[in-house]
Amino acid sequence: MLELRDISVSVTEEKEVPILKDINLALDKNKIYVMTGPNGGGKSSIAKTIMGIYQPVKGKILLDGIDITEKGITERARLGIGYAFQQPPRFKGLKVRELLALAGKEDLDEQCDLLFDVGLCAQDYIDREINASFSGGELKRIEIATLLARNLNVAVFDEPEAGIDLWSFQKLTETFEHLHEKYNTTLVIISHQERILRLADEVILVSEGRISEITSRENILAEIEKIDFDCRCRKECIKGEIASAECDR
């Protein structure tokens, strides 16, 4: 179980700016949490705080009852915490194969399976450098694969669906659906996507640097239904039948 107790985070530019305020969360093993809310609400900041990229000015983080607040990124990674970036970096000179090996999957067959799981043809990608030639969507998929490569206690995916085409999206949701079962993973997915929300055991709403609500998938979906009452293409859109269906949500 991962617990955030009274966590506050500030960033210092010219002066100290609070970005997270009194965050309390208790996330169980083998469950899927979907974190959602307005842009700039603080979702990525919560993820970075879990990973140790941001250090809280106040509060504690506990993993299975052990205080990890003072631990750095590397130590947390070794304790089985993983974070798939919202905007993953590119690496001049580093090949997909090498990055996956660094993530812990050195076996070529297993690497190919991983790429398949994120909808990439292994042959075309395994020896490619993760440089500027990668498209946004390709980069996101590689990023997701670096997390799937590890048997994690806590896996946080930051808008994994961003830039992923509709066809692959189906595959991705299937992957998430079963991911947590194998290693008892606490799965946190930051997303604005209805189809990802449907996977949630619990939905965490974040806005203005606070957790504004923790609710059930049913509640959230009912709310969306209300908003979308007038949108006729909605059903097809969810089923993925109309590739061109675009909601303005």
Partner 1 sequence: MLNAIDKRLLQEVADLHTIPQGAYNIRKNGQAAGRQSTANIDIVTKAEKPGIDVIIKPGTKGESVHIPVILSESLDDLVYNTFEIGAGSDVLIVAGCGIHNPGSNKSQHDGVHEFFVRKGAKMKYVEKHYGEGSGSGQRILNPKTIIEVEEDGTVELEMIQIKGVDQTKRDTQIRLHKNARLIVSERLLTDLEQNAESNITVELFGEDATAQIISRSVAQDNSRQVFHLSLRGYAKCRGHIQCDSIIMQNAQVSSIPEITAFHSDAELIHEAAIGKIASEQLVKLMTLGLTEEEAETTILQGFLK
Which residues contact ligand ATP (rule: CB under 6 A)?
A: 11, 19, 39-45, 86
Pick the piece of the chain touching partner 1 (CB under 8 A) from 11-19, 81-89, 109-117, 177-185.
81-89
Are 10 and 17 in contact by the 8 Å Cβ rule? The answer is yes
DSSP-derived secondary structure for 93-105: T-BHHHHHHHTT-
Comparing CB distances to partner 1, the nearer of 27 and 200 is 27
Are 210 and 217 in contact by the 8 Å Cβ rule? The answer is no
Token pair in block for residue 85: 């970036």
Helices (H), 184-233: 194-197, 217-227
Are 122 and 115 in contact by the 8 Å Cβ rule? The answer is yes
Comparing CB distances to ligand ATP, the nearer of 44 and 153 is 44
Site for Mg ion contains 86 (CB under 5 A): yes
Residue 92, binding choice from partner 1, ligand ATP, Mg ion, none, Cβ under 5 to 8 Å by partner class: partner 1
Residue type for 166, please? Answer: L
Site for partner 1 contains 183 (CB under 8 A): no
Pick the piece of the chain touching partner 1 (CB under 8 A) from 67-75, 115-123, 176-184, 231-239.
67-75
Pick the piece of the chain touching Mg ion (CB under 5 A) from 22-30, 40-48, 211-219, 224-232.
40-48
Please state, in angstroms and rounded to a whole number, the distance separating the CA atoms of residues 23 and 167.
Answer: 36
Window 117-156: residues binding partner 1 (CB under 8 A): 146, 150
Residue 88, binding choice from partner 1, ligand ATP, Mg ion, none, Cβ under 5 to 8 Å by partner class: partner 1
Which distant-in-sequence residues (6+ apart) come within 8 Å of 11 by Cβ? Answer: 17, 19, 54
Residue of 36, 44, 146, 186 interacting with Mg ion (CB under 5 A): 44
Comparing CB distances to ligand ATP, the nearer of 42 and 119 is 42
Q: Look at residues 25, 48, 21, 17 and name the one whose alpha carbon lies nearest to residue 204.
A: 25
Residue of 29, 69, 91, 231 interacting with partner 1 (CB under 8 A): 91
Token pair in block for residue 176: 């998430």
Site for Mg ion contains 36 (CB under 5 A): no
Window 33-52: residues binding partner 1 (CB under 8 A): 51
Site for partner 1 contains 93 (CB under 8 A): yes
